Structure 1
Amino acid sequence: MPTTTIAGHAVEVNDEGFLAHPDQWSDELGGELARLIGIELTDDHWTLVHFLREDYSRQGETPTLRRVSTQTGTPVKSIFALFPGKPAKKMAYVAGLPKPKGCV
């Protein structure tokens, strides 16, 4: 897998740019990943990103948009406002996790 430098850290990424090893992630790296896709993280963003990371560590897979919404109590419409376009994919990218199953 290719290696790239993000926020001063050498990380392995897959062919779509997602981190190959979620354990290489940090808040600093997440902030830089968000910046790279045009998102400035607020407390609401961080709540969702940290939920994704915690859920991934418990479940072994990246949560779907529906799971994020139901487990955090965040309406899907709000998630789309925070991560416009493809929110599940963007949240996973910022959180340093694989794309959720079913994402294109």
Structure 2
Amino acid sequence: MRWVKLTESQIQESVAELSGWNRKDEKWIEKKYRFKEFLDGIKFVNQVAHLAERLVHHPMIAIDYKLVTLRLTTWSAGGLTELDIQSAKEIDEIYRSQQISSV
């Protein structure tokens, strides 16, 4: 499937609906996730990796001890698409479900 780059107004509207995701520039959105333990972050990254494989859409991932930073863009479209927004929402759901299960 070929993804179409969102317009500036679509990007602003979509990102405003996402919790904690920020624009890095015209091509990227980014979010940082904090964890109580290092291995909780690793578990999260592994779940994100499975999502990325399912969607065939892979984020940039940085792991800094208990802080995981994810960045999304759609290379083939030259910027942000609905696939990035969908991925962000599903990643947030993974994070929420992991936090609930660890309580």
Whether TM-score is above 0.5 comes out as no
TM-score, with length taken from structure 2: 0.29
Structure with more of its chain in strand, by fraction: 2
Greater radius of gyration (CA): 2
TM-score, with length taken from structure 1: 0.29
- Which has the higher relative contact order, 1 or 2, with Cα contacts under 8 A spaced 6 or more apart? 2
